[in-house]
Amino acid sequence: MIGVTMKRFKKTSNDQLVSSNRESSVVLKISESKWGLNPMTLMAFFVVCLMVLTLVFSVAIVFGNLPPDCLWTLAEARFFHVKPSEATVSEDDIPRPVIMPKDKLLGGLLPSGFDETSCLSRYESLLYIKGLRHKPSSYLISRLRRYEALHKQCGPYTELYNRTVDLIKSGDQYSTSSSVCNYVIWVSFSGLGNRILTLTSAFLYALLTNRVLLVDPRVNLPDLFCEPFPQVSWLLPSDFPILDQFSTFNQKSPLSYGYMVRNNKSRIHPFMYLHLNHDYDGQDKLFFCDTDQTFLKKIPWLFVKSNNYYVPALFLIPSFEQELNNLFPEKGTVFHFLGRYLFHPTNSVWGLITRYYQAYLANADEKIGIQIRVFDLGVGNFKYVLDQILACTAKENLLPRVNPNEPIVNSSGKTKTISILMTSLSPRYFEEIRNMYWENPTVTGEIVSVYQPSHEEHQQTEKLMHDRKAWAEMYLLSLTDKLVTSAWSTFGYVAQGLGGLKPWILYKFENGTVHNPPCFRDMSLEPCYHSPPNYDCKKKTGSYNTGNVVPHVRHCKDMSWGLKLFDQNGEL
């Protein structure tokens, strides 16, 4: 191309030289004639003038109705920027979408002031995912801004943070007046779906108790999620005094709150561990009682480990009730709002998401997500689960039926295209459904494409690339128009909450039989709390009526003993 350009340039230069010589010759002849005009010269002059006027008139008509910036655009289009062929293409050279959404802050939910290139997903997500399905309350927005100011004041390596860290180093020499900033430290545990849900729970608890949330940095978190708070990190520094003890925290830890209650120890320490895993006992569950929350207010450092979305139980604590009502007038929107606020894929994960979406989903008229998680991996269970998926999607009219008796079906008008996004550890469900739509036409003529990004065969908790793919697939599922998920699966809970979708949930496969009906429509956007406390704080005894304490906390349909938030008017 460079050679061709040079030849054209030389040719143009020669042409200009010839033209210049000809014009000089004409000028000489005219001057020699001493302005004498013969008839032939006069005729030529009038012909040239007529041609010029015709050309000007034509241009005026053609461009007269175009918008002003069109001519500017046409002029700009003539300039080219040529890079040397040996230059490498960096991530910054990749074209980004040029039309940014008007409401990139999600109605004020997100803070401004970030370097947008450091986390492209924070503001580009609206180009792919729908906006918020509901409007956040003005009180929630103001509380988030107040929290961000607190985080900036008390975050890692600030003067107040350093002063509070010194309380841990001082050991038992601690007075309740020593701390200005109080913290809740999220200790990583379990699979990625569980980690996202427990991190959301810990953040809500931090909002309710005016604490600063800092997160365990040990397990891929910085590689998966962007920083959610401006200017100051949410990652607990690697030089934190007792970071190496996190893996040993359990119910028997001497500074576990439940352990202290069991052993009648009420001495106030600078830090305390809260064991909120599924195996917690009656003393651990006292965390959800008002009197115990009064005591915990005195502890500057609370370390929380859980594999449960314990948000519904926070709604059962009387002292939090009014604040939660102000934050979330629509009770079934907690994870939808806080999930969209906290979790933004890093640029590496965002690349996985956007490349896959553009390649396989963007042009479909309808996008259907199907998330499959099988907890009972018996050899003969595959056929039962496949039949359940097909029965559910047929009964609920989610997918078109096939016609095995016709080689082709001609549809009138524009053919509808449907993309099915499947996620599973196994490729077998995807292969069966893909082959079904390849080998048979649909009854009504739709074109159906079936895709599955990965099939890892086994869950590989805390393995970086596995977690990146899992996070990308949760996010991709949230971009679909309709969603089918599996009972008990936190993977599906995250997708439905981020997307603001009420999914069809496949009943858990049990005892070699398919449940009839095969699935049900979920009653809210919220995840299910699998191991609620079921504890009566007033009577200090076990209670199984926690689903009847307040009208917006009820038992889950996919796990009868679990708890779920939903809006009282039933519209979520």
Quick check: is 44 in a domain? no
Quick check: is 15 in a domain? no
Average pLDDT, the chain: 83
What distances in angstroms separate CA 82 from CA 1, 76, 90, 94, 481, one per listed residue? 11, 15, 16, 15, 42
Provide, for the chain, the percentages of residues in helix, strand and coil under a 3-state DSSP scheme, each rounded to the nearest 5. 45, 10, 45
Please name the residue that has the structure tokens 């006027």: 53
Quick check: is 92 in a domain? no
- Mean pLDDT check: name the lowest of 276-290, 378-392, 470-484: 378-392
Same domain, 118 and 163: yes
Quick check: is 384 in a domain? yes
Give me 85's structure tokens: 């062929």
Confidence of residue 110 (pLDDT cuts 50, 70, 90): very high
Is residue 25's pLDDT more than 70? no
Confidence of residue 100 (pLDDT cuts 50, 70, 90): low
Same domain, 214 and 262: yes
Same domain, 389 and 312: no
Mean pLDDT of 373-385: 79
3-state secondary structure of 539: coil
Confidence of residue 45 (pLDDT cuts 50, 70, 90): low
Quick check: is 47 in a domain? no
Give me 550's structure tokens: 């307040």
Confidence of residue 1 (pLDDT cuts 50, 70, 90): very low
Same domain, 403 and 449: yes
CATH code of the domain in which 400 resides: 3.40.50.11350
Count of CA atoms in the C-beta half-sphere (13 A) of 343: 28
What pLDDT, in 10s, does the model give residues 386-427?
999 999 999 999 999 999 988 877 666 789 999 999 999 999
Same domain, 152 and 244: yes
Q: How many domains is the chain partitioned into structurally?
A: 2
pLDDT score of 570: 52
C-alpha to C-alpha distance for 93 and 255, rounded to whole angstroms:
52
C-alpha to C-alpha distance for 451 and 541, rounded to whole angstroms:
50
Is residue 258's pLDDT more than 90? yes
How would you classify the pairing of strands 482-486 and 519-521?
A: unpaired
Please name the residue that has the structure tokens 């913290």: 183
Same domain, 317 and 297: yes
Quick check: is 98 in a domain? no
Return the CA Rg of the chain: 33
Same domain, 247 and 290: yes
Quick check: is 513 in a domain? yes
Same domain, 503 and 399: yes
Query: Ramachandran region of residue 412, left (φ > 0), alpha (ψ -120 to 50) or beta?
Result: beta
C-alpha to C-alpha distance for 566 and 330, rounded to whole angstroms:
8
Of 294, 310, 342, which one is at a domain's C-terminal end? 342
519 within 8 A of 505, measured Cβ to Cβ: yes
Mean pLDDT of 56-64: 42
Is residue 196's pLDDT more than 80? yes
Same domain, 300 and 247: yes
pLDDT score of 309: 98
pLDDT score of 538: 83
Same domain, 557 and 534: yes
Structural domain range at position 390: 347-565
C-alpha to C-alpha distance for 227 and 234, rounded to whole angstroms:
7
Is residue 51's pLDDT more than 90? no
Peptide bond into 517 cis (omega under 30): yes
Nearest of 493, 194, 224 to residue 353 by alpha carbon: 224
Same domain, 494 and 550: yes
Nearest of 220, 179, 126 to residue 466 by alpha carbon: 220
Confidence of residue 339 (pLDDT cuts 50, 70, 90): very high
Of 297, 314, 342, which one is at a domain's C-terminal end? 342
Of 318, 342, 366, which one is at a domain's C-terminal end? 342
Quick check: is 126 in a domain? yes
495 within 8 A of 526, measured Cβ to Cβ: no
What pLDDT, in 10s, does the model give residues 487-534?
999 999 999 999 999 999 999 877 667 788 999 999 899 999 999 998
Same domain, 392 and 328: no
